[in-house]
């Protein structure tokens, strides 16, 4: 791969099919990857978690502040305007595709990432507790998948997390509480009938103590 200076890829809203290529890991400066709203299939390749620019906290210091000749606008309906590359935040957006399989535990290697969106796919298995290693994460979108198991309580350590959505999966158990998780509404968890505890209306049943021996 010769495009070693490539820092930003936005290919969202096309009809791209096939699998996500593993050779993306060889782009040392790539910190913003948007492949959302396509027809991609297969799994989330482990190679993608090895993107060098997303594995270091110093990524923003390396991004050039050169001004664009013309401003760029967000095409997803917002009015955000970007005047330089440094305006973009480290991100991986694979939402609205046909991706499946487990979310690899190696996702926790992407330590500088601020937005991770895997929503509206067919990911299964559990939510990796290694996501708690992503200490810069501000937005985590995992809704509309086939995820099961409990929400890892270790995610409460993500102090910058301001948006969290796991709605419409097969999750169960109690909703984590404390810190940022006390600010998320019921909408973050709806569509998971086996989840319980605030802010859900369903309370968690307490296990009864075993009977005392006579």
What is the model's pLDDT at position 66? Answer: 52
Is 134 inside any structural domain? yes
Is 40 inside any structural domain? yes
**What count of residues does the chain have?**
214
| Closest to 164 (Cα-Cα) out of 104, 118, 110, 211 | 118
With 70 as the cut, is the pLDDT of residue 57 above it? no
What is the model's pLDDT at position 2? Answer: 67
Is 77 inside any structural domain? yes
* Per-residue pLDDT reduced to its tens digit, 84-100: 455 678 999 999 999 99
Is 192 inside any structural domain? yes
With 80 as the cut, is the pLDDT of residue 46 above it? yes
With 80 as the cut, is the pLDDT of residue 76 above it? no
What is the model's pLDDT at position 140? Answer: 98
Look up residue 47 and give its DSSP letter.
G
d(CA 23, CA 174): 39
Q: What is the CB neighbour count within 10 angstroms for residue 101?
A: 14
Residue 114 belongs to domain spanning: 8-196
With 70 as the cut, is the pLDDT of residue 201 above it? yes
Mean pLDDT of 151-168: 96
Is 207 inside any structural domain? no
What is the model's pLDDT at position 1? Answer: 54
The pair of structure tokens assigned to 195 is 């989840």
Is 64 inside any structural domain? yes
Looking at the 3D structure of the chain, how many domains does it have?
A: 1
More confident residue, 61 or 95: 95
pLDDT band at residue 77 under the 50/70/90 scheme: very low
| Closest to 141 (Cα-Cα) out of 201, 95, 74, 174 | 95
Is 116 inside any structural domain? yes
Is 182 inside any structural domain? yes
Q: What phi and psi, each to the nearest 5 degrees, are found at residue 149?
A: 85, -165
* Per-residue pLDDT reduced to its tens digit, 93-147: 999 999 999 999 999 999 999 999 999 999 999 999 999 999 999 999 999 999 9
d(CA 210, CA 212): 6
The gap from C-alpha 121 to its chain's centroid, in whole angstroms, comes to 12
Q: What is the CATH number of the domain that holds 78?
A: 3.80.10.10
């Amino acid at each position: 791969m010769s495009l070693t200076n490539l820092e930003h890829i936005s290919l969202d809203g096309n009809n791209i099919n096939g699998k996500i290529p593993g050779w993306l890991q060889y782009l040392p400066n790539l910190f913003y990857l948007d492949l959302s709203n396509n027809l991609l299939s297969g799994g989330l390749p482990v190679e993608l978690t090895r993107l060098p620019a997303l594995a270091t906290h110093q990524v923003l210091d390396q991004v050039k502040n050169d001004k664009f000749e013309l401003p760029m606008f967000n095409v997803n309906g917002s009015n955000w305007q970007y005047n330089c590359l440094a305006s973009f935040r480290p991100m991986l957006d694979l939402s609205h595709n046909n991706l499946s399989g487990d979310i690899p535990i190696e996702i926790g290697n992407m330590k500088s990432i601020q937005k991770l969106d895997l929503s509206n796919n067919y990911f299964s298995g559990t939510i990796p507790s290694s996501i708690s290693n992503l200490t810069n994460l501000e937005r985590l979108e995992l809704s509309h998948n086939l995820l099961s198991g409990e929400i890892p309580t270790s995610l409460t350590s993500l102090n910058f997390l301001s948006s969290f959505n796991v709605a419409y999966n097969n999750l169960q158990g109690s909703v984590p509480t404390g810190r940022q998780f006390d600010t998320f509404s019921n909408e973050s968890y709806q569509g998971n009938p086996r989840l319980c505890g605030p802010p859900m209306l369903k309370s968690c049943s307490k296990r009864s103590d075993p009977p005392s021996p006579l």
